[in-house]
Amino acid sequence: MSTIAQYLLARLHELGVRHIFGVPGDYILRFYDEIGKSNIRHIGTTREDTAAFAADGYARCNGIGALAVTYGVGALSVVNAVAGACAESSPVVVISGAPGVREQKEDPLLHHRFGPFSFQREIFERITCAAAVLDDPLIAFRRIDRALAAMREACKPVYLELPRDMVCMEGYPFPHETQAEATSSTEALEEAVAETLELLAAAASPVLLAGVEVHRRGLQDQLLALIRRSHMPVAATLTGKSVVAERHPAYLGVYEGAMSAGNARQQVEQSDLLLMLGVTLNDVDMGIYTANLDPNRMVRAVGGEVMIHHHRYPRVRLGDFIAALAKRAQPVASRAVSSLAPQLEGFPQPGRAISISRLIARLDQALTPDTMVVCDTGDCLFAATELRVHERSEFFASAFYTTMGFAVPAALGAQVARPDARALILVGDGAFQMTGTELSTIARLGLNPIVIVFNNSGYSTERFILEGPFNDIAPWKFSRLGELFGPLAGYEVATEQQFEVALAAALDETSCPSVIDVKLAVSDASPAMRRLAEHLKARVAGG
Q: Is residue 58 part of a domain?
A: yes
Render the burial of 365-386: b for 16+ CB within 10 Å, e for the rest: eebeeebbbbbbbbbbbbbbbb
Q: What percent of the chain has pLDDT over 70?
A: 96
Provide mean pLDDT across the span 429-451: 97
Domain that holds residue 392: 356-538
Most confident segment among 263-272, 374-383, 492-501: 492-501
CA–CA separation, 16 and 217 (whole Å) = 15
Cross-strand pairs, 19: 41
Q: 493 and 377 in one domain?
A: yes
Tell me if 35 is assigned to some domain: yes
Question: Residue 490's pLDDT band (boundaries 50, 70, 90)?
Answer: very high
Q: What is the arithmetic mean of pLDDT over 216-229?
A: 95
Task: With beta carbons less than 8 A apart as the criterion, state whether 61 and 25 touch.
Answer: no
Average pLDDT along the chain: 92
pLDDT at 287: 84
Nearest to 241, CA basis, from 224, 257, 253, 259: 253
Instruction: List, edge to edge, every strand of the sheet that includes 311-314.
Output: 251-254, 234-236, 206-210, 273-277, 298-302, 305-308, 311-314
| pLDDT on residue 337 | 63
Would you give the DSSP letter of residue 47? S
Burial (CB count <10 Å: 0-12, 13-18, 19+), residue 8 = buried
| Shared domain check, 521 and 429 | yes
Per the CB < 8 A criterion, the answer to whether 143 and 13 are in contact is no
Q: Are residues 91 and 137 in the same domain?
A: yes
pLDDT value for 536: 66
Q: Are 79 and 141 found together in one domain?
A: yes
* Residues 301 and 259 placed together within one structural domain of the fold: yes
Per-residue pLDDT band at 479 (split at 50, 70, 90):
very high
CATH code: domain of residue 454: 3.40.50.970
Q: Indicate whether 175 belongs to any domain.
A: no
pLDDT at 397 over 60: yes
Name the residue with higher pLDDT: 180 or 397: 397
**What φ, ψ does residue 445 adopt, rounded to 5°?**
-85, -5
Beta strand 298-302 with 305-308 is antiparallel
pLDDT category of residue 484 using cuts at 50, 70 and 90: very high
The verdict on 264 and 383 lying in the same domain is no
Do residues 209 and 137 both lie within one domain? no
Range with the lowest mean pLDDT among 110-119, 353-362, 411-420?
110-119
What's the pLDDT tens digit per position in 88-121? 999 999 999 999 999 888 877 788 888 888 999 9
pLDDT band, residue 1 (cuts 50/70/90): confident
Is 119 found in the same domain as 68?
yes
Question: For residue 440, what are the CA distances in angstroms to 46, 59, 443, 493, 512?
Answer: 8, 21, 5, 22, 11
pLDDT computed for residue 539 by the predictor: 63
- Alpha helix (H) residue ranges in 367-406: 379-383
In this predicted structure, what is the pLDDT of residue 422? 97
One domain, residues 266 and 367: no
Closest CA to 61 of 308, 374, 295: 374
Domain shared by 130 and 241, yes or no: no
| pLDDT(527) > 90 | no
Identify the CA nearest to 378 among candidates 421, 430, 319, 326.
430
CB 401, CB 451: distance < 8 Å: no
Q: What is the pLDDT of residues 163-174, one digit of tens each?
A: 999 999 999 987
Helix H or strand E encompassing 158: strand 158-163
Decide if 316 is inside a domain: yes
pLDDT of amino acid 334: 61
Q: Is the pLDDT of residue 283 over 90?
A: no
Domain tally, the chain: 3
pLDDT digits (tens, 9 = 90+) for 61-86: 999 999 999 999 999 999 999 999 99
Confidence (pLDDT) at 535: 66
Dist. CA 472–CA 134, nearest whole Å: 46
Residues 291 and 194 placed together within one structural domain of the fold: yes
Q: What is the pLDDT at residue 537? A: 62
Q: 443 in a domain, yes or no? A: yes
Q: What is the mean pLDDT of residues 485-507?
A: 97
Given a cut of 60, is residue 336 above it in pLDDT? no
Mean pLDDT, rounded, for 181-190? 91
33, 89: one domain: yes
Which has the closest alpha carbon to 273: 249, 317, 242, 309? 309
Whether 158 maps to a domain, the answer reads: yes
Q: Tell me how crowded residue 425 is: count the other CB atoms within 10 A of its CB.
A: 29
